[in-house]
Amino acid sequence: MAAGRRGGGVSTIPGWLWIPAAVGIVFLLLPIIGMVSRIDPQGLLDVIRAEESRLAMQLSLLTSVISALVSVALGFPLGYLLATKDFRGQRIVRTLILLPLVLPPVVSGLALLYTWGRSAVLGGAAEDLGLSLAYTTSAVIMAQIFVSLPFMVMSVETATTALGRRFELTAAELGAKPDRVFFTVTLPLLRNGITTGAVLCFARSLGEFGATLTFAGSLSGVTRTMPLQIYLVRESDPQAAIGLSLLLIVIAVVIIVLAYRSPHAPRLRPTPRTVKSTLAEAATPPPRHDRAQGAPITSGPPSGGRLSTAVELAERGIALDFTVPAGATTAIIGRNGAGKSSLFHILTGALRPDSGHLRIGDDAIFDLDAGHWPAIHDRGIIHLAQNPLLFPHLSVIDNASYGLRAHGMARGPARERAQDMLDRLGVGHCAQRRPDAVSGGQAARIALARALLVDPRLLLLDEPLAALDVDVRVETRQVLAELLADRSALLITHDIDDVSALADELLLVEDGAVELSAKVGHVDPGQAGAGEDFLRSFCMMDRDGIVCNQSH
């Protein structure tokens, strides 16, 4: 049982890794043990209670907290922009930001002194305005920020790069404006990186010595932090220096432990969810409903008219041009790499083509020739990808109601409508769970509910039923057919049953171009050009001839 709690009896980790790991642990712990062994317990309290020690510790804690907060305020935007935006000179900027990490602290102190010192240009100007910086408590804070800020930038940039932009794009497609996306998705998902960066900044500031001594000096109660106090008493009273060092270590350990035990701290181990419980959850069928008794869920008014798009992206070899009925579902089939997913990214605005347009009825969603390229949240287009992309920091009910809340609906009514839709799709019993507590099939249906609730102008479905079991897929396909009635939707699929049950029109995409466009039931493989072989293979799965006209 204990082995199961620690991840099971099977391990893919080489056993010899324990040897260098153990050497590393011993190397780090031995100096601490050696120092602790030299402590005189009787005089320890007197050293800690001394006035000079108290003032130094108070100053260290105060300045370290301020430095960490300022580093978060400055380092988060900087790290986030470095990870998400490309701009000229980006590598140079990153190199200069990380430079304090490799500079000797004394050099950092000299750089600050010759920039902000009383004889420097900027420092002299500040002095004339009555803002004296050098050899003040402000100088201590500046020195600490200078050496610790890069840790915040690195933590946020790494976390942002690892997270990617998928969740932010999903929120934007649901109608959330940039500010709402930032505060409801970006910040919560990056809080682990922010916490890590803040802890590192605090720890680095607490131990800063060289830059502080060079730029701020060592004035008791003003600039003499605990590291400076330890250095000062080391020659005259080694026991006092050891006692103060131990106090600094204890405080640092307490801060780190408290930070990593907070609810929003990075997890140091996986959530203890066993394989057995996960499989059991995935195997649990959803409660069956009498759909006639469910709350009515209506779609928006039929779009009417036609849906036409023509887009070209030379970099990916895409030149797609087609017109299909609006207020209907069009299935898009083709080989992997044909350009189907790229088309969806262009339509949502995540990928900008060289030229093109999208019109639904009388509305021009975008038209590059006319200079019209709206933001993602203004398009009313939702892309339901193969990965459900449920926001991990929100419950299932809050995930489902996110789009409604982004469009201004109050929390109560939004949750009621979300619950109705979740019930309709057979996952209402999961409403109060977190996304990591539902199976893959349940997550797919929750994402589908979230997309349908905002009643988009155009719904893009990328194999929405691929993650479902066969029996659940049949039931969900029936519900989806009802919900897609009178909606404009494009469906990427490799399943002939999806085409026959959901689609009115069929498009065959081959090498970035549309080879065939026809009504379902009137598809002639002989007219598919380069995609004829693929289409004939696809039609062979249609034994009843519902999709393809087998008479050809």
Tokens of 532: 């004829």
Express each pLDDT in 107-122 by its tens digit. Answer: 998 999 888 888 888 8
Q: What is the DSSP letter of 297?
A: -
Please, what is the average pLDDT of the chain? 84
Express each pLDDT in 455-465 by its tens digit. Answer: 899 999 998 88
357 - beta bridge partners?
Answer: 310, 367
Express each pLDDT in 372-424 by its tens digit. Answer: 999 999 999 999 887 889 999 999 999 999 999 999 999 999 999 999 999 98
Question: Residues 343, 320: contact at Cβ < 8 Å?
Answer: yes
- Domains of the chain plus CATH, in order, are 44-260 (1.10.3720.10), 303-380+456-540 (3.40.50.300)
Q: Which helix (H) or strand (E) holds 422?
A: helix 411-424
Express each pLDDT in 514-550 by its tens digit. Answer: 988 889 888 888 777 777 788 888 887 776 778 887 5
Q: Give the angle 237-239-241 at the CA atoms, nearest 5°.
A: 75
Q: What is the DSSP letter of 340?
A: H
pLDDT at position 276 is 36
CA-closest candidate to residue 497, choices 468, 527, 517: 468
**CA 63 centroid distance within chain:** 31
pLDDT at position 303 is 45
pLDDT at position 537 is 82
pLDDT at position 385 is 83
- Binned at pLDDT 50, 70 and 90, residue 263 comes out as low
Helix ranges (DSSP H) in 164-237: 166-173, 178-181, 187-189, 191-206, 210-216, 226-234
User: Mapping DSSP to helix (H, G, I), strand (E, B) and coil, where does residue 372 land?
Assistant: strand
pLDDT at position 107 is 92
pLDDT at position 197 is 92
Q: In angstroms, rounded to a whole number, what is the distance separating the alpha carbons of residues 233 and 224?
A: 12
pLDDT at residue 284 is higher than 60: no
Q: At what angle do helices 51-84 and 137-163 cross, to 10 degrees?
A: 40
Could you tell me where the beta strands, DSSP code E, fall in 397-463? 458-462
Q: In angstroms, rounded to a whole number, what is the distance separating the alpha carbons of residues 7 and 82?
A: 36
Q: In angstroms, rounded to a whole number, what is the distance separating the alpha carbons of residues 514 and 316?
A: 15
pLDDT at position 5 is 45
Question: Residues 499, 329: contact at Cβ < 8 Å?
Answer: no
- What value does the mean pLDDT take over residues 113-140? 84
